Structure 1
Amino acid sequence: MAILSTGPLENNAVLGVRPTQLVTVKMVCRNTVGAVTVTIQGYVLGTTRTLYVNEVINIGPDEVVTRNYFADLDAFEFVFTTGSGDVETVGISVWGKQSSGQLVGAHRVVEHEKTSQEA
């Protein structure tokens, strides 16, 4: 299996408001024949690392899937797990957004920026 991570993302409040309140995860399956399965785990980072998102998603051939998650937190991390053969056929991006929907550049993680490891 392949494990991809955003790494820890700080989201400290500025003038009482955190920059990001919502995280949008966009995934694409580039495989034209078979589906891929992605497990999404979101963690609140404080004095401990606490799981708050745990979702398994099946993505069909040439399908794009979007998920939105609460992120009005001081710090968070998202981890994506796929089959080892699927890592090249799935694209994943993570976008921090304000409550108005405005993108937060500091919380944008695109495909080539995620850390990856084979397990």
Structure 2
Amino acid sequence: MALLSTGPLTNEPVDGMRPTQQVTIKLDNRDPVNYSVVLLEGYVLNGTRSLYVQELFSIQPDAVVTKKYPANYDAFQFVFTTSGPAAGSTEISFWGKGLSGQLLAAYRLVSNELQV
């Protein structure tokens, strides 16, 4: 089992608008035979840590799951708990997007950049 996190991400308004409005998360099981399980949790960080997303996925062999969530908050964090036979073969990427859907480099994280 592995525990990964984006760490706290600030998203305070610039000229009245938060840079990131939505996040896209890709869960990629690269094992050709075994499944993996990912518990995905998203938190709003507003003086307290409030859970706003919680989903559990079983990812089949050689499968990719893509999820999108709102992120129009001053600060937020996502935590990923992987388990199952292919936990070590499951990679996660995290992408922040602006109002018009453009990718924001400051909010792009891939598996080796996520905190343990």
**TM-score range with shorter-chain normalisation?**
over 0.9
Q: Deviations over 1:31-73 (max 9, x none)?
A: 1111111000000001100000000011110001100000000
Show the 5 A alignment for 1:60-75: 60-75=60-75
Structure 2, unaligned runs of 5 or more: none
Q: Distance in 1 between matches of 2:99 and 2:74?
A: 15
CA distance in 2, matches of 1:26, 1:64: 7
| CA offsets 1:52-107 (integer angstroms, 9 cap, x no match) | 00000111100011000000000000000012754421010000001211001111
In the alignment, what sits opposite 1:79? 79
Percent same amino acid at aligned positions?
52
2:42 matched residue in structure 1: 42
TM-score (normalised: structure 2): 0.95
Helix, strand or coil at the partner of 1:88: helix
Paired residue secondary structure (1:115): coil
Could you tell me whether the CA contact under 8 Å between 1:2 and 1:84 is conserved in 2?
Answer: no
Which stretches in structure 1 are left out of the alignment for 5+ residues? none
Partner of 1:93: 93
Range with greater deviation from structure 2 (84-93 or 57-66):
84-93
Deviation at 1:115, TM superposition (A): 1.0
CA–CA distance in structure 2, aligned partners of residues 36 and 22 of structure 1: 25
Q: Counterpart in 1 of 2:53?
A: 53
Say how many residue pairs are matched.
116
Q: Hey, what does 2:106 align to over in structure 1?
A: 106
Q: TM-score, normalised by structure 1?
A: 0.93
Root mean square deviation, CA, Å? 1.1
